[in-house]
Structure 1
Amino acid sequence: MFITLEGPEGSGKTSQLPDLAAFLREDGWNVLTTREPGGTDIGDQVRQVLMRIDNTAMDPRAETLLFLAARAQLVAQIIRPALAEDRVVISDRYGDSTIAYQGYGHKNDLNTIRQMLAFATGGLIPDLTILMDVDPAIGLRRKKSEGEWNRMDAYELEFHRRVRAGYLELAREDPKRWVVLDASQSREMVQSALRQVVLARLTPPSVAHNA
């Protein structure tokens, strides 16, 4: 099963994922976790370029292509092989981030973005996408308080509001794949909700093994 965590900056995806993965492993699942952009040696190099705070001259189209390049490598090198081994793959961001950020955020043509995304991923779509929803102003304050700040964080607040609106629209368009969680709750409440959502979609290991 391929699961993705999505959300605005400061929604808590990155900090919640390790605990979720550990819980699932204790429950008997063979879990692989990854992140975007990055997850491979090549992808991590691309990540450095994308996130450098001083790369302010980067054109939105160049930004889009770099994210897609890192994703293409991750899908080919990590995600597809893991899924072929019947592992549970959980990714901190995936293709919907590009639709939300580079599509809705930068106001690029959504149809073009979707076509490019399909090419980069070979059409691989997650089985479950969890949107960790939080008001962008709250999320950005969280990021600053944690001492983390990159080029994407530094976009104006209105950009981040468009991103959040884009995520919510994507969730409305495909309610079978998406589940929206209130990420403004306590860390413990969010983690509990994540576990419930994921377990509800997973087939017990013994059943999957015998199938």
Structure 2
Amino acid sequence: MTDSPGLSRAEAAAAKRRRLTAAAAAVLHEKGVERTSIADIAQSAGVPVGNVYYYFKTKDDLVEAALTEHTGHLDTLTARLDLLPDPRERLKGLVAAWVEQRETAARYGCPTGTLAVEIDKRPPGGLDEAAARVIRRLLDWVADQFRQLGTPDPQGHAVTLVGAYQGMSLLANALRDPEVMTREGDRLARWLDTLPDH
């Protein structure tokens, strides 16, 4: 893949960095941190391996970039859901978005969750905190929806919902059965419908 003609040097560099970041998120999700090489990410991004070090000095820098990419995806999703007028519908939309990714989850698990688990097995050094920030961001958004709904203990309900998602992703992946996500997503949507309005 070559940079688009007509881009300034700074624009071309920014585009290359974006390609590397997106490739890092995808390859690390598919192969895991330990089995992914910088060359794998470079190849996926269409960037010569030697150029990677201009943007990212270490593989850990690429892992952090992948977590930033996951944050961006989460922010895009929640911004889209925030356009819905009702917090219950936003939460059900979140569940539907999870279920839409059932094939990917069955093959590789939850992008952020699997990365967080793998990072946690390494010596502490900051990446575990970066992964936790992404998950906290999701928990905070979900808790805010429960708060707007008037649900008692919105933080606890957020942990229940996000925990259910992580569980169904793990089971779908372990069993290689995307329909686990479908069935459990339906169960979560029905549970959300039972919660009273404030």
TM-score tier (shorter): 0.3 to 0.5
More strand by share: 1
**What's the TM-score, normalizing by structure 1?**
0.39
More helix by share: 2
**What's the TM-score, normalizing by structure 2?**
0.41
Higher alpha-carbon Rg: 2
